[in-house]
Amino acid sequence: MDANFEAKLARNENIEPKDWMPDIYRKHLIRQVSQHAHSEIIGMLPEGNWITRAPSLRAKMVLIAKVQDEGGHGLYLYTAAESLNISREELLEQLHTGKAKYSSIFNYPTLTWADIGAIGWLVDGAAIMNQVMLQRTSYGPYARAMVRICKEESFHQRQGYEITCKLAAGTKEQKEMAQDALNRFWWPTLMMFGPPDAASSNSENAIKWKIKRESNDQLRQRFVNQTVPQAELIGLTIPDKNLEWNEAKKGYDFSDPDWKEFNNVIHGNGPCNRERLGARVKAHENGRWVREAAIAYAEKRKQKAAAYQ
């Protein structure tokens, strides 16, 4: 069995739900896919925070569509995780009890409209790097969900950059707003790729099993290389004094993010950890009677239909 699994990986074939797989592969995937799903769902909150205040009708429609997409992506990913023999109820319980993690970036607050631009441009930009890679991940349902997600996500980064461009080209207040958002979101975005390769405990297996195909540091470097020229083009400054082009490696040298802060946020001490999880738990609890009503109603219909026959 084991040999069959290894052989499939070696041939770059997908592992499918009914295939035999080692228990730790299954566990690793449940953890990663559900963490990804939770991130999409929690990720609706910081941006959702600005839906009622989006400054134009167009911006409002775009933002709603985008936040809705995040919800859809969470949904695709939950069903991918469910194919690994865990129910959505269990997955949500893990989130609500704090057992499961989600991306720390969403524990930062969205203070101004420019943050909505920064999230689309930087956070989605970083997420896409990861997600493009994950389209080739070894677990079939996860890979297929990622293909769909990448297709839909393609407008997200553009809308964020568009907001930032408009602000950078706008009034003095708008430009300051855009620079301030970049200053605040730059480091947390770099942290999104995870700890440095040398310190990442899960990376090695993930690469071996072809769940991940590139390392945290590789993806982080690619992100910096791609983003710096985009900032320069619109006259914004990356908040890193050590940022410098390195001709030899054909990439930028840049400072290490503050990993102490990263660990603090992961361990629940980010500015919005409590609010984010609290909002999800509240929505879940407030929705309970709705779900119970739907069950009761369906049951009544079934009984009525049976009585007819």
Q: Using the 8-state DSSP alphabet, how is residue 198 labeled?
A: G
x/- mask, other proteins, residues 61-100, rule CB under 8 A, reads: x--xx-xx--xx-xxx-xx--x----xxx--xx-------
113 binds other proteins (CB under 8 A): yes
Letter for the amino acid at 6? E
Out of 105, 129, 145, 146, point to the residue binding other proteins (CB under 8 A): 145
Q: Smallest distance from the beta carbon of 225 to other proteins, in angstroms?
A: 30
14 neighbors 138 (Cβ within 8 angstroms):
yes
233 binds other proteins (CB under 8 A): no
Cα→Cα distances 21→133, 134, 202, 305, Å? 22, 19, 18, 42
Cα→Cα distances 156→50, 120, 212, 277, Å? 15, 6, 23, 24
x/- mask, other proteins, residues 158-197, rule CB under 8 A, reads: --------x---xx-xx-----------------------
48 binds other proteins (CB under 8 A): yes
147 neighbors 135 (Cβ within 8 angstroms):
yes
Nearer Cβ to other proteins, position 58 or 250?
A: 58
Nearer Cβ to other proteins, position 139 or 223?
A: 139
Cα→Cα distances 36→16, 27, 42, 223, 289, Å? 19, 14, 10, 19, 27
Nearer Cβ to other proteins, position 81 or 190?
A: 81
Count of residues that interact with other proteins, criterion CB under 8 A: 63
Both tokens of 45, joined, read: 């909150």
185 neighbors 118 (Cβ within 8 angstroms):
yes
Q: Smallest distance from the beta carbon of 145 to other proteins, in angstroms?
A: 8
Q: Maximum distance among all alpha carbons in the chain?
A: 79
Q: Smallest distance from the beta carbon of 259 to other proteins, in angstroms?
A: 30
274 binds other proteins (CB under 8 A): no
User: Judging by beta carbons within 10 Å of its beta carbon (0-12, 13-18, 19+), is residue 266 exposed, middle or buried?
Assistant: middle
Rounded distance, CA 70 to CA 74, Å?
6
Nearer Cβ to other proteins, position 44 or 127?
A: 44
Q: Using the 8-state DSSP alphabet, how is residue 235 labeled?
A: T
Residues lying near other proteins in the complex (CB under 8 A) are found at 16, 18-20, 41, 44-45, 48, 51-53, 55-61, 64-65, 67-68, 71-72, 74-76, 78-79, 82, 87-89, 92-93, 113, 145, 148, 152, 166, 170-171, 173-174, 279, 282-284, 286-298, 300-301
